């Protein structure tokens, strides 16, 4: 995974995390990915920071002292103003916790410990999304997912027919660009049980999809990243077409 080009736009970000060690790691590490983070320890400090700096993305820990991250996310969403991406960063990994975080306004939900590269990709993707003016067309040349006809469009212009399972996998990944989607979430999207046989079938389906793309003349390898034992991420723009 490569770092962004030096000429890429620098992204303003606020990290609201009460764990001083983790906050220091994020504030020190994210600039390597073209991100300008500022760290604050709680909701009060976040509000003060927002008076002088309006970031496009905020990272919120849920277990903050005083007002928790869920309450802050609801408040930021109800306040209107400039669009803002919200990433939840928390130790709570249960499905109910993740769903509650998304319900309260999070765009992306990460469970600690988090890979810094994955977090940076999520920040950059959210920044692009919230920075687009209304009704802005996404540039041509990326990946497209034609849901109606079950076809994956490649940057080269090739159109690849998909099986029903391949389509559903890519749909789930397209909803979380650049972010690892856990295997349990993918299996739920496929209406499959969470057991060893289902996990093996999922890995086989993804392997076959990669192989299908490799067989197309001139096609680049599918940017489908596996995080061992966790899940998968699509590390490129993937636009869904109804």
127-172 pLDDT tens trace? 877 775 544 343 445 789 888 788 999 988 888 999 989 998 998 8
Compute φ and ψ for 82, nearest 5 degrees.
-65, 135
Say if residue 208 is preceded by a cis peptide, omega within 30 of 0: no
The Cα 124–Cα 102 span in angstroms is 19
What's the token pair of residue 238?
């993937």
pLDDT, residue 48, reads: 94
Q: Is the predicted pLDDT of residue 204 greater than 70, yes or no?
A: yes
| pLDDT, the chain, mean | 83
pLDDT, residue 124, reads: 83
Intervals of CATH 1.10.10.10 along the chain? 143-241
Strand pairing report for 181-182 and 231-234: antiparallel
pLDDT, residue 225, reads: 85
Average pLDDT over residues 65-90: 85
pLDDT, residue 152, reads: 92
CA torsion 110-112-115-119 (nearest 10°) is 30
User: 143-241 has which CATH code?
Assistant: 1.10.10.10
pLDDT, residue 134, reads: 46
pLDDT, residue 2, reads: 42
Q: How far is CA 197 from CA 161, 193, 194, 203, in A?
A: 26, 9, 8, 10
Average pLDDT over residues 35-64: 93
Q: Is the predicted pLDDT of residue 114 greater than 80, yes or no?
A: yes
Average pLDDT over residues 20-36: 95
Intervals of CATH 3.40.50.2300 along the chain? 11-131
Structural element, H or E, at residue 213: helix 196-214
Question: CATH 3.40.50.2300: does it fit domain 11-131?
Answer: yes
More reliable by pLDDT, 54 or 154: 154
Model pTM score: 0.57
**CA of residue 152 relative to chain centroid, distance:** 20
More reliable by pLDDT, 65 or 97: 65
**CA of residue 188 relative to chain centroid, distance:** 18
**Helical segments of 36-163, H only:** 43-52, 69-78, 95-103, 116-131
Question: Could you give the 3-state DSSP secondary structure of residue 88?
Answer: strand
């Amino acid at each position: 995974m490569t770092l962004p080009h030096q000429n890429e736009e620098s992204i303003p970000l606020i990290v609201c995390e009460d764990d001083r060690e983790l906050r220091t790691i994020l504030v020190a590490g994210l600039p390597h990915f073209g991100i300008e983070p500022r760290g604050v320890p709680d909701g009060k400090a976040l509000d003060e920071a927002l008076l002088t700096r309006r970031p496009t993305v905020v990272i919120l820990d849920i277990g903050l002292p005083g007002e928790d991250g869920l309450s802050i996310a609801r408040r930021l969403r109800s306040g209107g103003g400039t669009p803002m991406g919200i990433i939840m960063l928390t130790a709570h990994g249960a499905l109910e916790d993740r769903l509650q975080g998304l319900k309260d306004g999070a765009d992306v939900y990460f469970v600690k410990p988090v890979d810094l590269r994955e977090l940076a990709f999520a920040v950059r993707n959210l920044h692009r999304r919230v920075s687009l003016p209304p009704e802005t067309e996404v540039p041509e040349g990326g990946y497209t997912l034609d849901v109606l006809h079950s076809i994956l469009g490649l940057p080269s212009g090739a159109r690849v027919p998909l099986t029903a399972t391949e389509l559903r996998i890519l749909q789930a990944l397209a909803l979380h660009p650049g972010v690892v989607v856990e295997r349990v979430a993918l299996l739920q999207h496929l209406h499959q049980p969470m057991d060893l046989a289902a996990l093996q079938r999922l890995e086989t389906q993804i392997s076959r999809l990669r192989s299908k793309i490799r067989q197309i003349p001139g096609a680049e390898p599918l940017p489908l990243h596996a995080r061992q034992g966790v899940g998968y991420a699509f590390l490129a723009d993937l636009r869904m077409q109804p």
